Amino acid sequence: KYKGIIFDLDGVICHTDKYHYMAWKNIADGLGIYFDEEINNRLRGVSRMESLEIILERSDKKYSDKEKEEFANKKNELYKELLNEMSEKDLDKKVKDTLDILKQRGYKTAIASSSKNAKLILSKLNLIDFFDIIIDGNDIKYSKPDKEVFEKAGIGLKLLPNECLVVEDAASGVEGAIRAGMQVAGIGDAKKLGDVSYSLESFEDLQKYCI
Ligand code: B16
Ligand code: MG
């Protein structure tokens, strides 16, 4: 039924979501702003600046655009330091095997990520040449829950929306994919969301639904 599979990156292909959390936690603690895993879930799939705005909701202070830019830059520096340690061994074998099987079955594959660091991460995981197309935070004007990143991935694969299945871990991504007219397989927290077509207990479950 599907001809292409469009994957989110953070929280689906790899677990860089924990590094985003650690880096933002450092910024929030430095500013004396309360931040926890639950608030962090709202940052999934959302752009860097929009993530900062969500964190600052709990601050009484007003910050200038220049200050906000400094916080966001500092977060990205911390995040990239954490990424330094990453290598091919951080790619789960079951994820890699599943990707290979789906490719053998003839599916086209894409990445649709809000992250401006997506290509850096994919090269560390030695996956940069695996996907037919990579659309990331540098290619879009509006981040998830907008449909832009998914629409561009679908166009890049030369497929219609109803020929694509999106794999997402975030509410923002599920919403964006549905707005793009695509069906979604939810993993992690997103597997509990009502509008997903498939709930994946693990990444390998994709092999059951994409035959
Ligand atoms: P960056 P995804 C998203 O990636 C992350 O989930 C989100 O937490 C992050 O703020 C966003 O990328 C921007 O990342 O600061 O690296 O540009 O889940 O869409 O792959
Ligand atoms: Mg994600």
pLDDT in tens, 27-84: 999 999 999 999 999 999 899 999 999 999 999 999 999 999 999 999 999 999 999 9
Pick from 6, 8, 48, 77 the residue to mutate for probing ligand 1's pocket: most ligand atoms within 8 Å of its CB.
48
Spatial contact of 90 and 14, defined as CB atoms under 8 Å apart: yes
Measured from the CB, is residue 143 less than 6 Å from ligand 1? no
What value of ipTM does the predicted structure carry?
0.93
- State the pLDDT confidence band at 176, using cuts at 50, 70 and 90: very high
Respond yes or no: is residue 17 known to be catalytic: no
Place of tokens 């197309």: 133
pTM: 0.92
Q: Which of 42, 33, 102, 28 is nearest to 71 (CA)?
A: 28
